[in-house]
Amino acid sequence: MDEHLTQDTFRKILEAMTFPGKLVQLEQSLIEVEPLYSQTVLLCHTLLDSEVTFAVVENTKISQSLHAYTGSHAVKMEEADFVIIPQNDAITVFSELNHVKIGDLRDPQKSATLFIEVDSLTDGKQFELSGPGIKNTTVIQSNLPSEFLEMRGMLNKEYPLGIDTLFIDSEGLVLALPRTTNVMEVKEEWAM
């Protein structure tokens, strides 16, 4: 894997994490791991190595390929530093997330970062984001599953403990929801 590509990707992840809700376009990965999105594979190449662990929800084949490409070891979800949720699994698996690492008070950084594949980050329901990195509020449009947002709310309730999330859509756009970001679904208002 090209080092400059992953360095460039790292800067972009940093940009997305710094400004939650900002859409960042990633390049194509040089290696594909079906059925993951190309950009999810690129995220894995950038952030996974033998010093960290990962779990792919219900897919051992992806785990084997990612281990072979990155040197990172696949472990149980409750021990993983990175949890990868491929697009097709998205709705059903969120209930399993209640055991992911959220860190402890002395080491809140020892928590999981989630990569979640979604259909679209430009189309769907509206969500209003607020928190550090966002001036006032910002609105995103996506089909983020409400099951996930509920689970996230539960995992993040005791700051600084919690999880950080990166969403990747089929166009290769990335959006970050660090644990500090508040998410509110915008209820449709009827014009009177």
Partner 1 sequence: MGYVAVTGGKEAISASLEHLAYERVKDGKLIEVDALRSTMRGFIDQVMSESSLYSEQLAALAMKQSEGNIEEAVFLLRAHRSTLPRLYYSTVTNPREMFVQRRISASFKDIPGGQILGSSPDYLHRLLDFSLLEETQADILNKKFEFETTEVPEESSLPLEKLPKVMDYLRSEGLIHDFPLNNTEPDDVTKENLTFPSSRSERLQILTRGQTGAINALGYAGLRGYGSSHPNVGEVRVGYQPIHVGLDSDEGDEAYYIGSIKLTEVESFIPMNVNVDGKEVLEFDIGYGACFGQNETKAIAMSVLDHALENPENTPIHDDEFVLLHVDTVESTGFISHLKLPHYVTFQSKLEQVRKIKRGGGVNE
Residues that bind partner 1 (CB under 8 A): 49-51, 71
Minimum gap (Å) between residue 31 Cβ and partner 1: 17
Rank residues 104 and 185 by Cβ distance to partner 1 and give the closer one. 104
Minimum gap (Å) between residue 106 Cβ and partner 1: 9
Rank residues 50 and 95 by Cβ distance to partner 1 and give the closer one. 50
Minimum gap (Å) between residue 69 Cβ and partner 1: 13
Rank residues 15 and 107 by Cβ distance to partner 1 and give the closer one. 107
Distance, first Cα to last Cα, the chain:
56
- Strands 24-25 and 113-118, by their bridges, are unpaired
Rank residues 4 and 135 by Cβ distance to partner 1 and give the closer one. 4
Which of 36, 34, 39, 35 shows the shortest CA–CA distance to 23? 39
Query: Which residues have CB under 8 Å from 7's CB, separation 6+?
Result: none
Minimum gap (Å) between residue 101 Cβ and partner 1: 16
For 189, the token pair is: 């208002």
Rank residues 50 and 92 by Cβ distance to partner 1 and give the closer one. 50
Which of 122, 120, 135, 114 shows the shortest CA–CA distance to 177? 114
Which of 80, 83, 79 shows the shortest CA–CA distance to 94? 83
Minimum gap (Å) between residue 5 Cβ and partner 1: 15
Which of 66, 77, 139 shows the shortest CA–CA distance to 114? 77
